Structure 1
Amino acid sequence: MANRLAEQTSPYLLQHAANPVDWWPWGAEAFAEARRRNVPVLVSVGYSACHWCHVMAHESFEDPAAAALVNEHFVAIKVDREERPDVDAVHMRVTQALTGHGGWPMTVFVTPEGQPFFAGTYYPPEPTPGLPSFTQVVTALGEAWRDRQDEVLASASAIVEQLEQINTLPTASAAPVVWDLLDAVSADFDLLHGGFGGAPKFPAPMLVDALLVKGEAGTLDLAQRTLEAMARGGIHDQVGGGFHRYAVDAGWVVPHFEKMLYDNALLLGSYVRGWRRTPQHEAGLRWLFERVVRGIVGWLEREMVVEGGGFAASLDADSADIRGMAHEGIYYVWNPSLLVDALGEEDADWAGTVFHVTKDGTFEHGLSTLQLRGAPDVERLESVSRRLLEVRASRFEPPRDGKVVAAWNGWAIESLLWAGMVFGEREWIALAERAADYLWSTHWVDGALRRTSLDGVVGDAAGVAEDHGAVAHAFGLLAGVLGEPVWLERAVAVLDAAVAAFAADDGGFYDASGEGLFTRPRDVQDNPTPSGTMALVTALRSVGLLAGRTDFTSRADAAARTTWGTVAASPRHASAALTDLLAADEARKGLRPAVAVVLDEAGDPLNDAARAAWRMAPAGTVVLSGRPGTTGFGRWFEVDGAAPSAPATESKLTHARIGGSGQVEVESDEYDEHEVVPLAQVVHVRRGGVSFPPASTVQELRAALWSRA
């Protein structure tokens, strides 16, 4: 018999709908039931692509005896951490404080008022050294509540009080010195394998973006080596495109095999920006980075688009072998015999060398992940990869979590726009536009943003700060690409709602409303994704610049200041804030955020000048392309022989020289500095109070974009 999860819109919750555990979804009704029965609450948090969540579900939640104990002693709540990141964040802080570590599945026991008194992660069905069984924990805590309820309540109150004391952001009276921060980041770089820190090793897209801001040779080298190492590693799906969650080893060889939308959305943007920072003479790196970009987009198109145009949340780590037994990673791994079956002897031998498929295996049971070695023949690599992908498609596919998450789709839209504009791929822009249409039509309900949807049905969970920031920023970029002001209006509406919902007294932002939680979540450190604060800061800057909303840019400045203490203490773990800080340092040195207005009579998003601007503009630049006289963008398109939006001031570039001593910086050497390359459209660049003469060549545009005016 189905429990109360059967009507939910989370695939993870639906996986538990037939459990003998009498699960409730998170909400006031569950806690009211706990108060009525005078029993504590079991809060179990996981997500559908989590391997150990499946293990614990099978071992304990599907076991009638274990379920009977839970139902007798507790009200049980099942939470999808992707649907309710606020619930997850608060209880993860509890778990880390009480146990010294965290992870999923997360198992937290709270009072009927929601105050925690015991926490852990995975519990086995039988006790192991140092770890009790799940039923032992349930029995002991149920008896403690029955026999020593006052002690349990006192313990819960003490835990909450301690958490409130540590739940404050570190402060700084001044911005940290950026070169000190970059030195600290560099000290964590893995010189042997690329990336940062040791095993397990996670992708670091926000940190890569931070290292690309200044373009200084040392930081650029760290970014490129990290991108190359991941692109060649087993963490990268070499034949299907996209990245797995993280590597269990320092060398990127063996991943945890779930594939998350947020990882791939953020990495897509990082590889595009890494490509455009890489000079043409480094052809091998540019080819590799472009291969990754096209692979991620291909994976998104092939496996992740849901009906209506949004993107699904994830692919599971586990799938079935030919006997129907579930194994992690079995869908993605090969051995020499499997290569022969797929390719024939000659190509299998070649592929085994190129992809490092060994007799003993690099994974387990003689199987190997695929790693890209050397500089293979490109045409042969494409042919072999295509054939391996076709053969792999006959295997049992990993289950897909078809839930659409607003923030993750926002990041995917942003990166698809970057990729489409830089590589001139019209369909990628259309893919982004369809996803944006889905978000607006499905997730924007009665003037408020919702977090998730499934099969076109929006869930009840309200959007959190990261949702508002990612979606607003994506909408603003889309407005600039398409020249359609309706997307700017929508971006402004989302940000107005965010400021009203999440603003904190110190000028920063909370991560969520905090309704129903014993504390309101707030953290400016990154996890796999930018913090909610930095997602909003990014959107407030770009949309504020495009919409002429100085209150947005002022709010962004104030919120960024609340991150200074954290980024000073741990720049690698607050890299979105580090990126903003580095851009602010460039602005103080004259390279302030600019708007590049491209006047295109045809209204083609992929016009020459717009593509050139996207390829070479400094971080923080907003590119706006459209027909002259377009309305809905303030005065940006009111061109009168001078630069748009303001009376022309004398350009500081009148006698500037491109290249040479570095008076004018460049984002890449995509264009030969000695060859005058005309543009089919005119571009007007305005930075702060300086309006530059209309640019009609690549060289004039580059000079205007990179002048420290």
Structure 2
Amino acid sequence: MSNAPSSPTGPVNRLAETTSPYLRQHAHNPVDWWPWCEEALALARETDRPILLSIGYSACHWCHVMAHESFEDPGTAELMNRLFVNIKVDREERPDLDKIYQTAHQLLAQRPGGWPLTVFLMPDDQKPFFAGTYFPREPRHGLPAFKQLMQGVERAYREQKTAIESQNESLMAALAELEPHASDALPERSAIDAALQQLDTSFDPEHGGFGDAPKFPHPTNLDLLLRHATDAPQTGAPDRSALAKAVWTLERMVRGGLTDQLGGGFYRYSVDALWMIPHFEKMLYDNGPLLALCCDAFAVTEDPVFRDAAVMTADWVLREMQSPEGGYWSSLDADSEGEEGKFYVWDREEIRALLAPAEYAPFAAVYRLDRPANCEGRWHLHGYRTPEAVAVDLGLEPARVQALLAAARATLYVARERRVRPGRDEKVLTAWNALMIKGLARAARTFDRPDYLESAEQALAFIRGTLWREGRLLATYKDGTAHLNAYLDDYANLLDALLELLQTRWSRADLDFALALAEVLLDQFEDPIGGGFWFTGRDHETLIHRTKPLGDEAIPSGNGVAALALERLGHLVGEPRYLAAAERTLKLAAESIRRMPYAHATLLFALDEWLDPPETLVIRAGDERLDAWRREAQRGYRPRRFVLGIPADESHLPGTLAAMAPGERPRIYRCSGTRCEPPTESLADVVKPTS
């Protein structure tokens, strides 16, 4: 299913032997590509040739463009092979390299990076001395031709080594200066208010979202608004403004072009401010958090638009993204047949011919097929109007309009399935799987869907059976090969996913696995002196820089997720080491949070729960009331309540759970942080009605 930009015939290079679908896309290039490995680095040193490092990923549109224009061109390849040692990296398999060289690009180029990332490295120590992103075959848009660039860079390496070495010293000092430094104090609670104020300032009241185009979904920021809006323990009243911002933004994303209106799932981002035309790739790491967010929005509002979006997203994952072995695949490409979005867009007359007149009328009204085409002469489905408003105009009952729209979408979906499908990146990444396991566990609990729980459990079983070896995680799997030491994001997100699954159903094996992951986090990743967690483990390959990333990026901050999960697990089992590690992480992040609060939403969740620990309910029962009470305790949106239902016959529990013994009748233990109340045998004593 992978989209292969290069010819499938002819000789192959070393990338054919890798596990990455992205690297394999370049296996037939005339470029003498290497994967990142010690042999390639040694060759650069021995031949005194700079390294041309190219980083991308399989669903990346401009990566494909540069491959077609340059890497498949024999003349360009000849120049690359003669002047450089050429290394191709999949940023999804090697986020450690990507984080380092993206940051270096920002420092060298003084502008944000992206993919494809093109970096030229010194052959002796892999320090970067020139960086850019996409370069065209011919000069255009103010960019030099790639051939001209390479010749200029190689000449500079030969003639200006002293200046480059001086620049490298400054670059390494700048990289070190960017790393956070520990504070003696925790961040103030006011940092949460500051983040909310920043979001308020940049909020788009007309279309939802923050800032102008392009617009990214940023589920952690919406989660921050939703938590604050419904909880607000310090203010004593819900923040209706924050709730409105979160719900309106998510609704515009769900009804608009950011969502696949026929097949489910969210695209990567919107190129416009209206959430209309997306960058069409679908990434697993977006859809896991957005699935959980839709579940939460439904729990708060009971608006079926969020239920339907969650169900369509979950169904898409089960149908298209879960491998027969159980793990979830990584992404669907933006392109098919060499054209971005071709699989998803429509001709109006094609839609008219496929639908019955009774179906076409409301469908055309909702998606405004009477307007000019919105996507280069064709129509990408974007909900301009609500079904309820269209029902009024057509004089139909809303339920009738919904039924006609559902029938129309089903017909168009079947027709679309006959098209050439986008490529699928069929590698399994541990961190991304964890995000989807969490999302599906939340959906299983919210909508009482055992099939979603079964899917999440299958993915977890795959990780445990394939990517957990000798007490350590591996980062990636493809075609029978699991390899690469896992990163902070893998451990933190999997720990977080296990805690979510434990709230959906009890599993002693999952609790033990969570404790094992927590121990590796402390042993391999934590800095017990400076605080926080390194992105790579202690025994990881030595690179030019070792990072402690704090801000949320495309996925939640590994430091934030680790701190939050360790707080919850530490309170659950009474383990002070976990709590101390979380506290040190928050102190490390204090200055970074102060400078840019809204960029650290996940760490702000951890700060909030550190300052005001959430409620933990442990239910012990030996009959059907165990699940019934657990469900009742979880009813509604309860982000500050952690509920565990443990069967009465489960014994030898770890830590403070061992003291929470069952009784002759169902029993509930209620704790807040390190303080626990006497057990009660009345559910009403601890569960108040949803407000």
TM-score of the superposition, structure 1-length normalised?
0.87
Q: Partner of 1:453: helix, strand, or coil? A: strand
8 A Cα contact 2:180 2:588, kept in partner: no
Distance change in 2, residues 1:621/1:561 (3 Å): farther
1:288-315 deviations in Å (ceiling 9; x for gaps): 1101110110110111001211111100
Q: Distance in 2 between matches of 1:522 and 1:540?
A: 17
Deviates more, 1:7-16 or 1:207-216: 207-216
Runs of 5+ in structure 2 lacking a partner? 1-10, 231-237, 389-400
By how many angstroms is 1:631 displaced? 2.3
1:462 alignment partner in structure 2: 485
Q: Distance in 2 between matches of 1:30 and 1:137?
A: 22
1:443 to 452, 460, 467: 467
1:596 to 605, 617, 642: 617
One-letter code of the match for 2:193? W
Q: Does 1:273 align with 2:307?
A: no
By how many angstroms is 1:489 displaced? 1.2
Q: Partner of 1:483: helix, strand, or coil? A: coil
8 A Cα contact 1:488 1:547, kept in partner: no
Distance change in 2, residues 1:536/1:641 (3 Å): closer
8 A Cα contact 1:465 1:512, kept in partner: yes
By how many angstroms is 1:239 displaced? 1.4
Q: Does 1:474 align with 2:459?
A: no
Q: Partner of 1:595: helix, strand, or coil? A: strand
Q: Partner of 1:16: helix, strand, or coil? A: coil
2:402 to 378, 384, 387: 378
By how many angstroms is 1:427 displaced? 1.1
Q: Does 1:304 align with 2:321?
A: yes
1:686 alignment partner in structure 2: 671
8 A Cα contact 2:300 2:637, kept in partner: no
The correspondence of residues 65-84 of structure 1 with structure 2, limited to 5 A, is 65-84=75-94
One-letter code of the match for 1:451? A
Q: Does 1:330 align with 2:335?
A: no
Distance change in 2, residues 1:632/1:394 (3 Å): farther
2:365 alignment partner in structure 1: 353
1:393 to 414, 417, 426: 417
Q: Does 1:106 align with 2:127?
A: no
1:166 to 161, 178, 201: 178
Q: Distance in 1 between matches of 2:426 and 2:602?
A: 28
Distance change in 2, residues 1:237/1:305 (3 Å): same
1:573 alignment partner in structure 2: 599
Q: Distance in 1 between matches of 2:352 and 2:155?
A: 60
Q: Partner of 2:524: helix, strand, or coil? A: helix
Q: Distance in 2 between matches of 1:171 and 1:130?
A: 44
By how many angstroms is 1:549 displaced? 2.1
The correspondence of residues 389-538 of structure 1 with structure 2, limited to 5 A, is 389-459=413-483, 461-504=484-527, 505-513=529-537, 515-538=541-564
One-letter code of the match for 1:474? A
8 A Cα contact 2:182 2:531, kept in partner: no
8 A Cα contact 1:240 1:299, kept in partner: yes
One-letter code of the match for 1:458? A
Distance change in 2, residues 1:169/1:331 (3 Å): farther
By how many angstroms is 1:129 displaced? 4.5
By how many angstroms is 1:527 displaced? 0.7
1:557 alignment partner in structure 2: 583
Q: CA RMSD in A?
A: 2.3
Distance change in 2, residues 1:632/1:304 (3 Å): farther
Q: Distance in 1 between matches of 2:435 and 2:625?
A: 23
1:81-103 deviations in Å (ceiling 9; x for gaps): 11111100100001111221211
By how many angstroms is 1:511 displaced? 1.5
8 A Cα contact 1:335 1:357, kept in partner: no
8 A Cα contact 1:617 1:702, kept in partner: no
The correspondence of residues 3-82 of structure 1 with structure 2, limited to 5 A, is 3-82=13-92
Distance change in 2, residues 1:197/1:359 (3 Å): closer
8 A Cα contact 1:237 1:370, kept in partner: no
One-letter code of the match for 1:192? E
Distance change in 2, residues 1:498/1:638 (3 Å): closer
8 A Cα contact 2:299 2:637, kept in partner: no
8 A Cα contact 1:307 1:455, kept in partner: no
8 A Cα contact 2:427 2:476, kept in partner: yes
Distance change in 2, residues 1:170/1:398 (3 Å): farther
2:4 alignment partner in structure 1: none
2:648 alignment partner in structure 1: 628
By how many angstroms is 1:359 displaced? 4.7
By how many angstroms is 1:705 displaced? 10
1:240-281 deviations in Å (ceiling 9; x for gaps): 111000001111011100000000001111111122122x5x
One-letter code of the match for 1:631? S
By how many angstroms is 1:695 displaced? 5.6
Q: Distance in 2 between matches of 1:536 and 1:407?
A: 12
1:546 alignment partner in structure 2: 572
Q: Partner of 2:267: helix, strand, or coil? A: coil
Q: Distance in 2 between matches of 1:253 and 1:499?
A: 44
Q: Distance in 2 between matches of 1:640 and 1:71?
A: 69
Q: Partner of 1:234: helix, strand, or coil? A: coil
By how many angstroms is 1:69 displaced? 0.7
One-letter code of the match for 2:677? S
Q: Does 1:224 align with 2:235?
A: no
By how many angstroms is 1:482 displaced? 3.0
Distance change in 2, residues 1:424/1:683 (3 Å): farther
Q: Distance in 1 between matches of 2:500 and 2:186?
A: 31
Q: Does 1:243 align with 2:266?
A: yes
One-letter code of the match for 1:552? Y
Q: Distance in 2 between matches of 1:238 and 1:296?
A: 10
Distance change in 2, residues 1:202/1:691 (3 Å): same
Q: Distance in 1 between matches of 2:186 and 2:618?
A: 34
Distance change in 2, residues 1:351/1:577 (3 Å): same
Q: Partner of 2:687: helix, strand, or coil? A: helix
Distance change in 2, residues 1:294/1:14 (3 Å): same
1:197 alignment partner in structure 2: 211
Q: Distance in 2 between matches of 1:168 and 1:488?
A: 32
The correspondence of residues 203-214 of structure 1 with structure 2, limited to 5 A, is 203-214=217-228
One-letter code of the match for 1:412? M
1:656 alignment partner in structure 2: none
8 A Cα contact 1:546 1:622, kept in partner: no
8 A Cα contact 2:563 2:603, kept in partner: no
Runs of 5+ in structure 1 lacking a partner? 281-285, 321-325, 644-679
Alignment size in residue pairs: 651
Distance change in 2, residues 1:425/1:201 (3 Å): same
Q: Distance in 2 between matches of 1:422 and 1:265?
A: 15
One-letter code of the match for 2:676? V
By how many angstroms is 1:174 displaced? 4.5
Q: Does 1:254 align with 2:277?
A: yes
